[in-house]
């Protein structure tokens, strides 16, 4: 699918952001191993979450999708699937599922699309092998398809990670759930797994040295989850509302988990006009209504812990930087190169087609704001966040932006273009 996004006036109104992708995956996977059925509302219905749901179904778990809710019914004694489990475009599916499966005495094969088949898996297969799991893949376990022969995990292993990754941390905790395991990361990545496991009754706590220690889990209580709306999806509207003149957008009930709310801090650092109204949240995740109004942004430095806390939002923050006064430096974000695409080179290339001066760094980029001009052209092939980031730019630059393979948005935000159109401006 090719779309051409052009300026079409201010964005004004309320946007119903879809459910949080990370929490959606976890609400299915974790309830699938609970002691009874659970109800999930607000689940993201997208390609990535469908991959997790379909994999669980193939293993015998009940995933009953009804209007407005999904019922997850665990199955004692999982079925060994006769076909490979297709993880599609979803890194969270393949990495969390490989840990989840390591604890089960089953033989499974995990495959993905072109993009996923290029992404590094040693970060999970390495620790899982160290736990005693039999897991393999191309390039000595670094590339999918992965094969998992589970049920052989040793108790009490300790994993001092050299990257901060919620997917890796979660795979280890899931693999070690029956026997106990400890994991520590160099910086704290998003903690949805820890929050949800604790809410389900797991004995999981962090000690003063930063180790997450999980005691062997005998029973996990089923957890009804009201999935918050996805801050990573909201980020496109936070930037669009900031850079498109006269815009004012209201984004209700969005998740603002501090471990991943860096986009709010980064935009504030750039002078954005953002109001956050925290709400009482019954679940494990904090939520808020957010209002954004257009204002002239200025350059800022996004690095260190802040870069980790807004890693998924950096492509669209780079678009904001291109519209800002002055220079924005993004550093400490080399992980961006191993996402659904090499997002550093994709963003740099896309911004250059828009006339922006941008220097590529190994771990980020330096963007000189203020000279964005269209028409631009990007190919989103395999990367939803690239498609949406440049769609936002298209609403701002004269001549707009053409996006090829824009259907990548189905991974995380299937109705993104419909909503953008509803607020005026796609063709």
Is 125 a residue that touches ligand S3P (CB under 6 A)?
A: no
Sheet arrangement for strand 62-66: 62-66, 69-73, 38-41, 225-226
Residue 66: CB minimum distance to ligand S3P, A: 24
From the list 15, 33, 124, 166, which residue makes contact with ligand S3P (rule: CB under 6 A)?
166
Nearer Cβ to ligand S3P (92/157): 92
Token digits for 57? 């179904």
Contact region for ligand S3P (CB under 6 A) — 165-173, 249-257, 263-271, 398-406? Answer: 165-173
Q: How many CB atoms lie within 10 A of CB 280?
A: 6
User: Judged by CB under 6 A, how many residues of this single chain contact ligand S3P?
Assistant: 10
Is 312 a residue that touches ligand S3P (CB under 6 A)?
A: yes
* Binding string, residues 70-109; x marks residues near ligand S3P by CB under 6 A: ----------------------x-----------------
Residue 26: CB minimum distance to ligand S3P, A: 7
Is 419 a residue that touches ligand S3P (CB under 6 A)?
A: no
Is 188 a residue that touches ligand S3P (CB under 6 A)?
A: no
3-state secondary structure of 251: strand
3-state secondary structure of 172: helix
Dist. CA 87–CA 113, nearest whole Å:
8
Nearer Cβ to ligand S3P (86/185): 185
> Is the Cβ–Cβ distance between 318 and 330 less than 8 Å?
yes
Residue 192: CB minimum distance to ligand S3P, A: 7
Nearer Cβ to ligand S3P (344/423): 344
Token digits for 118? 């290029």
Nearer Cβ to ligand S3P (26/396): 26
Nearer Cβ to ligand S3P (108/193): 193
Contact region for ligand S3P (CB under 6 A) — 53-61, 166-174, 276-284, 315-323? Answer: 166-174
Dist. CA 135–CA 128, nearest whole Å:
7
Long-range interactions of 121-126: CB distance < 8 A, separation 24+: 121/94, 121/95, 121/146, 123/95, 123/163, 123/165, 123/168, 124/95, 124/98, 124/99, 124/167, 124/168, 124/171, 124/172, 125/98
Pick from 255, 250, 251, 252: which is nearest to 228 by CA?
A: 255
Q: Facing residues of 298 across strands? A: 325
Contact region for ligand S3P (CB under 6 A) — 10-18, 162-170, 243-251, 368-376? Answer: 162-170
The three-point CA angle 29-31-33 to 5° equals 80
Dist. CA 396–CA 374, nearest whole Å:
9
Pairing of β 401-404 and β 376-379: parallel
From the list 27, 144, 167, 242, which residue makes contact with ligand S3P (rule: CB under 6 A)?
167
Nearer Cβ to ligand S3P (22/115): 22
Contact region for ligand S3P (CB under 6 A) — 107-115, 163-171, 289-297, 326-334? Answer: 163-171
Residue 311: CB minimum distance to ligand S3P, A: 6
Q: For 377, how many CA atoms within 13 A lie in the half-sphere containing its CB?
A: 0
Residue 338: CB minimum distance to ligand S3P, A: 8
Dist. CA 111–CA 138, nearest whole Å:
11
R_g of the chain, CA atoms, integer Å: 21
Nearer Cβ to ligand S3P (144/170): 170
In the residue annotation, 363 being an active-site residue is answered as: no
DSSP class of residue 83?
A: S
Pick from 255, 251, 261: which is nearest to 227 by CA?
A: 255
Is 311 a residue that touches ligand S3P (CB under 6 A)?
A: yes
From the list 93, 98, 157, 189, which residue makes contact with ligand S3P (rule: CB under 6 A)?
189
Is 285 a residue that touches ligand S3P (CB under 6 A)?
A: no
* H, E, C per residue of 312-359: HHHHHHHHHHHHCECEEEECCCHHHHHCCCCHHHHHHHHHHHCCCEEE
Query: Which residues in the 7-26 window bind ligand S3P by CB under 6 A?
Result: 22
Nearer Cβ to ligand S3P (168/324): 168
From the list 165, 242, 410, 411, which residue makes contact with ligand S3P (rule: CB under 6 A)?
165
One of 20, 312, 379, 407 is an active-site residue; which one?
Answer: 312
Catalytic positions: 312
Q: Which residues bind ligand S3P (CB under 6 A)?
A: 22, 92, 165-167, 170, 189-190, 311-312
């Amino acid at each position: 699918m090719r779309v051409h996004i052009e300026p079409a006036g201010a964005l004004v109104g309320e946007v119903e952001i879809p459910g949080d992708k990370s929490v959606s995956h976890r609400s299915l996977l974790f309830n699938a191993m609970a002691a009874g059925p659970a109800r999930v509302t607000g689940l993201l219905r997208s390609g990535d979450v469908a991959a997790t749901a379909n994999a669980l179904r193939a293993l015998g778990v009940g995933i009953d999708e009804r209007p407005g809710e999904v019922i997850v019914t665990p199955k004692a004694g999982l079925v060994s699937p006769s076909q490979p489990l297709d993880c599609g475009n979803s890194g969270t599916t393949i990495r969390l599922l490989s840990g989840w499966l390591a604890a089960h005495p089953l033989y499974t094969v995990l495959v993905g699309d072109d993009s996923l088949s290029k992404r590094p898996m040693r970060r999970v297969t390495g620790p899982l092998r160290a736990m005693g799991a039999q897991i393999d893949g191309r390039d000595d376990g670094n590339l999918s398809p992965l094969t998992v022969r589970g049920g052989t995990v040793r108790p009490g292993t300790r994993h001092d990670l050299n990257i901060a990754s919620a997917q890796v941390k979660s795979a280890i905790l899931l693999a070690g759930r029956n026997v106990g395991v400890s994991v520590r990361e160099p910086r704290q990545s998003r903690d949805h797994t820890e929050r949800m496991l604790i809410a389900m009754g797991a004995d999981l706590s962090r000690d003063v040295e930063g180790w997450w220690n999980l005691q062997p889990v005998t029973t996990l209580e089923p957890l009804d989850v009201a999935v918050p709306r996805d801050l990573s999806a909201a980020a496109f509207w936070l930037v669009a509302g900031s850079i498109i003149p006269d815009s004012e957008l209201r984004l209700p009930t969005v998740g603002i988990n501090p471990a991943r709310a860096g986009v709010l801090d980064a935009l504030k650092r750039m002078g954005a006009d953002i109001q956050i109204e925290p709400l009482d949240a019954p679940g494990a995740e904090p939520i808020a209504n957010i209002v954004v109004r257009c204002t002239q942004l200025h350059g800022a430095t996004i690095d260190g812990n802040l870069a980790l806390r807004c890693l998924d939002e950096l492509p669209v923050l780079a678009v904001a930087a291109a519209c800002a006064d002055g220079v924005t430096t993004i550093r400490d974000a080399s992980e961006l190169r191993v996402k659904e695409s090499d997002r550093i080179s994709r963003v740099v290339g896309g911004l250059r087609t828009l006339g922006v001066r941008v220097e590529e760094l190994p771990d980020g980029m330096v963007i000189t704001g203020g000279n964005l001009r269209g028409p631009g052209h990007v190919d989103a092939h395999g990367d939803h966040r690239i498609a949406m980031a440049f769609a936002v730019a298209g609403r701002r630059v004269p001549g707009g932006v053409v996006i090829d393979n824009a259907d990548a948005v189905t991974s995380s935000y299937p109705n993104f273009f419909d909503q953008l159109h509803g607020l005026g401006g796609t063709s």
